[in-house]
Amino acid sequence: MLQLWCLYESFVKLLKAQSCRRTRSNTFPILEAEGTHNFCKLFGHFMFFHRDKFTTVPEVMEDKGDYELYSPNPQVRGMTTLDRTAFRKTISVPVLQVKNEKVNKLVKSLNHRMIQRSGLRRMLEDLSDKGKKLVLLDPHQISTENSFDESDHTVLKQLEISPHVSKYDLELTYENFKTEEILQAVLPEGQCVTSAFSRVGHIAHMNLKDHQLPYKALIGQVIIDKNPGIKSVVNKTKIIDSTYRYFKMEVLAGVDDMTTKVKENNVSYEFDFSKVYWNPRLSTEHERIVGLLKPGDILFDVFAGVGPFAIPAAKKNCTVFANDLNPESYKWLLHNCKLNKVDKNIQVFNMDGRDFLLGTVKEVLTKHLAHLSEKEKALHIVMNLPALAVEFLDTLKQLLTEAPGSSAILPTVHCYSFSKDDDPAADVRRRVEAFLETSLEGCCSVHLVRNVAPHKEMMCLSFQVPANVLYKNYANQEQADEPLPKRPRVLEDSCAEKNRN
């Protein structure tokens, strides 16, 4: 119920965000698939222990639901050290006795009546008759022969198979239970169960609640058991490091090896997950921003991390200037540039974002702005540091001395920020305008990136830096016949929509 309520609150927040001005790719994902995993997947080979208890007494089975029928042995409640043998449980399932030569034909015709649980074998050897097999039926649909409908009886009659339903005692083991079922059985009754994690290469990254911490080692081991390829499970212990933007974490289970490899949007990355920032849930946003770029454009990535914006942009033949304060991010950014063979298109820096804006960005803009209008190239500045990026915007005020002319292309900024406001789009725009000391009415777009937590959204505000903000000696009076500065491509739609209104 708690999970449903959280989902409801997130949906309400997303509906509120529809009032935001949006970019071309204005999708509002309620749930993001990149980097998250559903624990309802069951992998591997499943072991069955067929017992000799086989009866032919046709009893009416009570529909207890999947949870009760397939829940592990209740004696595991409160377990903190994983004991796989304690999960054994016997359930009674309906079966048909079918001659070996008729099994395949029956399965094709009555597949919808057979047991549907993933991972369970639906045909077993009949220990009482080697010439027959036991076909396991869905206990939620079939209890006696009267549970079959007319078409089912027709099939059975044609195949000369008795509709008599027997019961078989099937023993389930740890291997047969899903991750969520195991955790629900182990954790105290009524408490929230963590059912998702972010996968980063061979690492599963979790955010456990305080009440789950006594079971953290068990939870970690279950995740490794049920997810092939996962070798390490880590838990975030503190918020992101405010200086270098990486999580403080502890290893719950598996190997203590945080150097991993991932592939996102057909680009490969390698890094030490314990020392850099990486969020697989931002894959769609990385792709969205890179999709706005065209070959030849110039991109300044102020808080580049290990390169999820910068490297795809360079592969698109953009000229990229990428910076990160974290020495580890800088090291892996250089490594990933070479790994993806784009090191010739990227210049990499290791400095504070403010120094990067006042130094490198200023120098490049001063050198290139006057010559870009004829080539129809665009300038983009990405500032993906949601907790602090807005506070760096004041560096853009009077950054350049003289405007090169009204036809010059002005840079477009993509600034990320968190918001807990009831109107997150308006909240972010107000704060950006406060640092720029100007209005962005009609010439900015707001994109909802994702719901971070209940009442907390991650937003991206894209805007063209106004000439009167960027230049010190900008002339406020313009000739009536003088053409306006070209709009950046990312803002064409939002400005056109405003004109229509």
Task: Show the domains of the chain with their CATH numbers.
Answer: 78-176 (3.30.70), 179-257 (3.30.300.110), 274-478 (3.40.50.150)
Instruction: Write the CB contacts of 301 (distance below 8 Å, at least 6 apart in sequence).
Output: 309, 310, 313, 320, 321, 322, 323, 382, 384
SS (H, E, C) 341-388: CCCCCEEEECCCHHHHHHHHHHHHHHHHHHHHCCCCCCEEEEECCCCC
Q: Are 34 and 280 in contact (CB under 8 A)?
A: yes
Q: Residue 438 CA to chain centroid, in angstroms?
A: 35
pLDDT tens string, the chain, 501 residues long: the values are 444 444 444 444 444 444 333 333 333 332 333 333 333 333 333 333 333 333 333 333 333 456 678 889 899 999 999 999 999 999 999 999 999 999 999 999 999 999 988 778 899 999 899 999 999 999 989 999 999 999 999 999 999 999 999 999 998 999 999 999 999 999 998 888 876 899 999 999 998 988 999 999 999 999 999 999 999 999 988 666 556 767 788 999 999 999 999 999 999 999 999 999 999 999 999 999 999 999 999 999 999 999 999 999 999 999 999 999 999 999 999 999 999 999 999 999 999 999 999 999 999 998 887 666 545 689 999 999 999 999 999 999 999 987 766 667 889 999 999 999 999 999 999 999 999 999 999 889 999 999 999 999 999 999 999 999 999 877 543 443 455 454 444 454 554 444 444
Q: Is 379 annotated as a binding residue?
A: no
Q: Are 372 and 412 in contact (CB under 8 A)?
A: no
Q: Is 190 annotated as a binding residue?
A: no
Rounded Cα–Cα distance for residues 183 and 78 (Å)? 10
Pick from 453, 490, 488, 494: which is nearest to 467 by CA? 488
Q: Is 384 annotated as a binding residue?
A: yes
User: Euclidean distance between the first and final Cα of the chain, in Å?
Assistant: 43
Pair type for strands 123-125 and 132-136: antiparallel
Rounded Cα–Cα distance for residues 122 and 108 (Å)? 12
Res 475: pLDDT? 52
Res 67: pLDDT? 64
SS3 236: strand
Q: Is 352 annotated as a binding residue?
A: yes
Q: Is 210 annotated as a binding residue?
A: no
Strands (E), 223-264: 232-236, 249-254, 259-264
Q: State which amino acid sits at residue 14.
A: L
Q: Is 324 annotated as a binding residue?
A: yes
